[in-house]
Amino acid sequence: MTVLAVAGLVKSFGGVQAVNGVSFSVAAGEMLALIGPNGAGKSTCFNMLNGQIKPDSGRIALNGRNIAGLSPNRVWRLGVGRTFQIAATFASMTVRENVQVALLAHRRHIWRFWRPAAAWFVPEADALLTQVGMRDQAERAASVLAYGDLKRLELAIALANAPRLLLMDEPTAGMAPAERTALMQLTRSLASRQGLAVLFTEHDMDVVFGVATRIVVLNRGELIAEGDGPTIRADPRVRAVYLGSGVTSGGHRC
Amino acid sequence: MGFILVQFLTGLASASSLFLVAAGLTVIFGVTRVVNFAHGSLYMLGAYLGWTILSALPRDPAWFALGVVLTGAGVAAIGMTIETTLLRRIYKAPELLQLLATFGVVLIVQDVVLKVWGPDDLTLPRPRWMRAFVTIADQRVPVYDLLTIAIGPLMLLGLWLLFTRTRWGTLVRAATQDREMVAALGVDQRRLFTAVFALGAGLAGIGGALALPDGSANGQMDLTVITDAFVVVVVGGLGSLPGAFLASLTIALLQAFGIVLFPKITLVLVFIVMAVVLVLRPNGLLGRPLAAARGDANTPALVRAAVPALRWLGAAVLLLAALAPLFAGPFALSVLTEMAIAMLFAASLHAMMGPGGMVSFGHAAWFGLGAYGAAFAVKGLALSMPAALIIAPAGAALAALLFGGFVVRLSGVYLAMLTLAFAQIVWAIMFQAVSVTGGDNGILGVWPAAWATDPRTYYWLTLAICTAGVLLLRRILYAPFGYALRAARDSETRAAAIGLNAAWLRLAALVMAGAAAGLAGGLTAFAKGSVFPGYVSIGRSVDALLMVLLGGVQSMAGPVAGALVYTGLFDILLMVTDLWRLVLGLSIVALVLIFPQGIAGTVHRLWLRGREA
């Protein structure tokens, strides 16, 4: 079942074609990796899906509904979770409270002025924390967590609105190699168990080839290859971009 | 024609002196990120020190110039002392604490100046060359004005050369953009910061000395100047020298012509200009968005409900307070009433500053609007006291709602300065709309209802209302709304990603804080039986800030502790010594150095010592 279908996405900044006619789709339970050298258009693509940038043209269909041009706020409400390259959590709250706030926002309970926030949705918050393996740290301050744990907390927050699609921007940036694989394996098991569609950008090729169901390669705003790990590895254009055959420039080794 | 020329030249001359102070302030802020409230005090020290030096020197222009330079060097040395003994120790502390420390310096300098130079305004006898005129277009223009006019652009040129043509200047500019990177490149930050602070202080000192021939050295100039300088720096854009110059020119010229064209609004003209600029350009005329300084000093601490021991302590204090009228005399009772009100006032500012993340330099606006609202209600509309005490918070909340739309778009110092601008506009209305507000004489005879005229009854009423108010604020801050507000402060990115609208949340917090402060103002009106423009003064806003900062912003018990300590300390000091500012200032500085997290924050940390936060 297709959760996200992107068709003919175009965005230019001034004279630069950042994204030029990109189309791909992500199905439920699938992990799609979006890769490409720096400046390939990954982040622009990502930010359009999330609503931070309006596309010039093209269609972004979430469960068949066009969400191109909606605000991040609206996109979130339609069931899209997101994690950031630099983990964004609430430092003045405990791990559990972080998830509770996300749950309160999701259930539209923010404008309540009486019953303490700590009393709301405790079982739901703990269930989410259990999923990411953070249940035993629920009482700790988010500000003292190790970076890997912070990323897992962020994942729990992103899952609080029971998303159909999860967008992860450089999910393993800044993490130790062992933690990287663990986080992505966790995401993968969540995806397949809950039928969640996951789209992520990533620079670490071990992570990409280790967990992605399918891979989409962008270069200079255009989609140059799509397929599973072995297909992508064997693709001459991808090799040219990443290894720098001399025909293409601007690529870098990972 | 000639008249316009004279006003124009007068404007240019005051632009120059404004620029001297503002340039120092903006450079210090750019590099150290310290909002230096003591900058006006350095200017005042320049005026007094300049008076001493220039009075002792021969009256020739050359000696005058030497005297001014010596004064600048002297004030630079004082600045260096302040930087090395105080500020250097707290660069890693939260920004608000640095602000508190510079407030302490303001208080200390006020008393030192009073002790050393006495309470009288000091003027410099003007020698013949200073009194000379030149005739331009049939108008007599003082030579000294022309000299002053020249100094502004010359100073800008000098600073520009210093910052663009020397290695040191390049380092300063680099540090303004990214001080961690500069440190990582092996530059000694400590020396750079000290030197920058000394330079800024020296400029302020020169400014103070140069202002002497046209005015006097007096004890009020510090706050006047710091307000003007802040306006200039903010309008120009924090950290931008050309911005400061442009803003000095704009504001001084507007003032020079405004005084003729609209004499009624001169008191607020600069603030109106600032408000308009900030609404249109949230980073000032030539400012750019500031890169936040890295480091975890400003990482918000975990907020937890008070531990049981603290709750019991609070209950015990409240019980004691409720029983106080049975044994307290009339004076003690009036102090206690004041403390109860201060508690609510501080808690209202805390709600905005702490969880809301909006620092306010003009919280007195809501307090004053509440006080005047209550006074109008009983004097103008002949309403009862209870009705007045409903109108007070409602009126303040309404004003906060109207004004809040502009405020919530800004952040940091810009937001704080816009609140100050609003407070000054309110103050000017109260001060100048004599027919309605009684102007400086205020509104008298605002007495409580017959059933509450007994000071004990009124005290109990105040205590009950203020305690309920504080507890209600606390309740709201622990409710989902309070968490969402804090979430938007902690991480705007994440808050937006989970569908929180930061602007609406902040607006609601501002309205809530405005209502609580307005209630405090209404209670004060009946406690004192009168209202005055002083209720909306900068001093009152600073009081609230000091209470919150003393107590600590991270904890919700903080503002209450801060209000009680501050009001208590203040009243005791007032009784035992006439050097209360010095003692208070020194206490603040000592508190900052000993308790870098505020009183409540530090107690909380000691409590948690050995456990994890």
> What is the ipTM metric for this complex?
0.89
Compute the C-alpha angle B221/B225/B231, nearest 5°: 160
Q: From B431, B427, B415, B428, select the one nearest B275 (Cα to Cα).
A: B415
CB contact under 8 A, A88 and B497: yes
The rounded distance, in Å, linking the Cα atoms of A126 and A100 is 9
Beta-carbon contacts of residue A164 (< 8 Å; ≥ 6 apart) = A3, A28, A62, A63, A79, A80, A196, A197
Sign of the dihedral through C-alpha A204, A206, A210, A212: positive
Q: Distance (Å) from the C-alpha of residue B300 to the closest C-alpha of chain A?
A: 5
pLDDT given at position A254: 44
Chain B nearest CA to A192, separation (Å): 23
Take residue B130 and report the two structure tokens written for it.
């200073």
What residues in chain B have per-residue pLDDT under 50?
A: 294-296, 613
Q: What is the pLDDT of residue B597?
A: 67
Nearest CB among A72, A90, A117 relative to B482 is that of A117
Angstroms from A82 CA to nearest CA on chain B: 7
Kindly determine whether residue A111 and residue B494, on different chains, have CB atoms separated by under 8 Å. Answer: no
Q: What mean pLDDT comes out for the span A138-157?
A: 92
How high is the pLDDT of residue B129? 82
Which pLDDT value is given to residue A252? Answer: 44
Give the DSSP letter string of B202-249: HHHHHHHHHHGGGS-B-TTHHHHHHHHHHHHHHHH-TT-HHHHHHHHH
Helices marked H in B356-411 — which ranges?
Answer: 364-375, 385-407
List beta partners, residue A197: A165
Cβ distance A89 to B491 less than 8 Å, yes or no, reads yes
Is the pLDDT confidence value at A205 over 70? yes
Contact assignment for B554 to A116 by CB distance below 8 Å: no
Q: How far is B302 from chain A (nearest CA, A)?
A: 4
Type of residue found at B26? T
Q: B295 vs chain A: nearest CA distance in angstroms?
A: 13
- Give kind and range of the element (H or E) at residue B288: none
For residues A147 and B508, is the Cβ–Cβ distance under 8 A?
no
Structure confidence at residue B458 (pLDDT): 95
- E strand or H helix at B290: none
Tokens 């105080």 sit on residue: B86
Is the distance from CB of A105 to CB of A158 less than 8 angstroms?
A: no
Give the helix/strand (H/E) hosting B460: helix B455-478
Q: How far is CA A107 from CA A162, B113, B415, B484, in A?
A: 11, 60, 31, 13
Nearest partner of B541 among B457, B373, B424, judged by Cα: B424
Cβ contacts below 8 Å, chain A against chain B, sum to 113
Which among A113, A122, A143 is the top mutation candidate for probing chain B, defined by the most B β-carbons within 10 Å of its own β-carbon? A113
Q: Which residues of B touch A115 (CB under 8 A)?
A: 479-480
Of B253, B314, B245, nearest to B286 (Cα)?
B245
SS3 of chain A: the string is CEEEEEEEEEEEECCEEEEEEEEEEEECCCEEEEECCCCCCHHHHHHHHHCCCCCCEEEEEECCEECCCCCHHHHHHCCEEEECCCCCCCCCCEHHHHHHHHHHHHCCCCCCCCCCHHHCCHHHHHHHHHHCCCHHHCCCEHHHCCHHHHHHHHHHHHCCCCCCEEEEECCCCCCCHHHHHHHHHHHHHHHHHHCCEEEEECCCHHHHHHHCCEEEEEECCEEEEEECHHHHHHCHHHHHHHHCCCCCCCCCCC
- Whether A116 sits inside 8 A of B478 (CB atoms) is yes
Interface of A with B in 78-97 (CB under 8 A): 82, 84, 88-94, 97
SS3 B455: helix
Of B200, B190, B158, the C-alpha closest to B72 is B200
Q: What is the pLDDT of residues A30-43, one digit of tens each?
A: 999 999 888 888 88
Question: What are the chain A neighbours of B296 within 8 Å (beta carbons)?
Answer: 143
- B164 burial type by CB count under 10 A (0-12 exposed, 13-18 middle, 19+ buried): exposed
Judged by CB atoms closer than 8 Å, whether chains meet at A92 and B484 is answered as: no
Nearest partner of B388 among B399, B398, B379, judged by Cα: B379
- Which one-letter DSSP state was computed for residue B596? T
Interface residue of A110, A120, A136, A143 to substitute, partner B, most B CBs within 10 Å: A110
CA distance A70 to B466: 45
Which whole-number Å values give the CA distances from B79 to B21, B24, B84, B205, B230, in the listed order? 13, 11, 9, 10, 18
Beta strands at A80-83 and A165-169: parallel, antiparallel or unpaired: parallel
Query: What pLDDT, on the 0 to 100 scale, is given for residue A249?
Result: 42
Buried/exposed B452-468: b ≥16 CB within 10 Å, e otherwise: beebeebbbbbbebbbe
- For residue A207, give how far its alpha carbon lies from the nearest alpha carbon of chain B (Å): 25
Cα dihedral B274, B277, B278, B280 in deg (nearest 10): 160
Q: Is B325 exposed, middle or buried (0-12, 13-18, 19+ CB in 10 A)?
A: buried
Cα A101 to Cα A97: distance, rounded to the nearest angstrom: 6
Tell me how far apart the alpha carbons of residues B124 and B142 are, in angstroms, rounded to a whole number: 16
For residue A145, the chain B residues in CB contact (below 8 A) are none
Contacts of B481 in chain A (CB under 8 A): 110-113
Kindly state the helix (H) or strand (E) to which residue B531 belongs, with its residue range.
strand B530-531
Q: Is A113 on the interface with B (CB under 8 A)?
A: yes
Which amino acid, residue A102?
A: A
The interface residues of chain A toward chain B in range 50-79, judged by CB-CB distance below 8 A, are 72-73, 76-77
Alpha carbons B338 and B459: distance in angstroms, whole number? 9
Say yes or no: A161 contacts chain B, CB-CB below 8 A. yes
Provide the 3-class DSSP secondary structure of residue B566.
helix
Beta carbons of B40 and B17 less than 8 angstroms apart: no
Domains and their CATH numbers in chain A: 1-69+164-172+197-254 (3.40.50.300), 80-162 (3.40.50.300)
Verify whether the Cβ–Cβ distance B480 to A82 is below 8 Å: no
Q: Does A234 touch chain B (CB under 8 A)?
A: no
Phi-psi region of B442 (alpha: psi -120 to 50; beta: other; left: phi over 0): left
Comparing A164-173, A196-205, B87-96, B181-190, the range with the smallest average pLDDT is: B87-96
Q: How far is CA B348 from CA B318, B356, B495, in A?
A: 19, 11, 24
Question: Smallest Cα–Cα separation from B156: which of B241, B37, B75?
Answer: B241
DSSP assignments along B398-443, one per residue? HHHHHHHHHHTT--HHHHHHHHHHHHHHHHHHHHH-HHHH-GGG-E
In angstroms, the Cα distances linking A131 to A27, A128, B183, B343, B421 are 22, 5, 42, 44, 50
Distance in angstroms (rounded) separating the CA atoms of residues B347 and B494:
27
- Beta-bridge partner residues of A225: A217
Long-range contacts of B175-184 (CB under 8 A, 24+ apart): B175/B31, B176/B30, B176/B31, B176/B239, B177/B291, B178/B291, B179/B31, B179/B33, B179/B293, B180/B293, B180/B294, B180/B295
Q: How many angstroms separate the Cα of B504 from the Cα of each of B22, B415, B510?
A: 34, 16, 10
Nearest by CB to A72, from B475, B490, B496: name it: B496
Phi then psi dihedrals of residue A92, to 5 deg: -85, 10
Cβ-Cβ contacts under 8 Å, B556 against chain A: none
Q: How far is Cα A40 from Cα B98, in angstroms, rounded to an integer?
A: 44
Q: How far is CA B307 from the centre of its chain?
A: 33
B298 to chain A: nearest residue by CA?
A: A91
CB pair distance less than 8 Å for B483 and A84:
no
Q: Tokens 């500031």 appear where?
A: B290
pLDDT at A155 over 80: yes
CB contact under 8 A, B483 and A112: no
CB distance B500–A106 less than 8 Å?
no
CB-nearest to A141 from B302, B486, B501 is B302
Chain B within 8 Å of A139 (Cβ-Cβ)? no
Give the mean pLDDT of chain A.
88
Q: Which residues of B265-274 are buried (b: 16+ CB within 10 A; e: fewer)?
A: bbebbbbbbb
Q: How far is A224 from chain B (nearest CA, A)?
A: 31
8 Å CB contact between B412 and B359? yes
Q: What's the pLDDT score for residue A248?
A: 42
Please report the pLDDT score of residue B598 as a whole number.
66
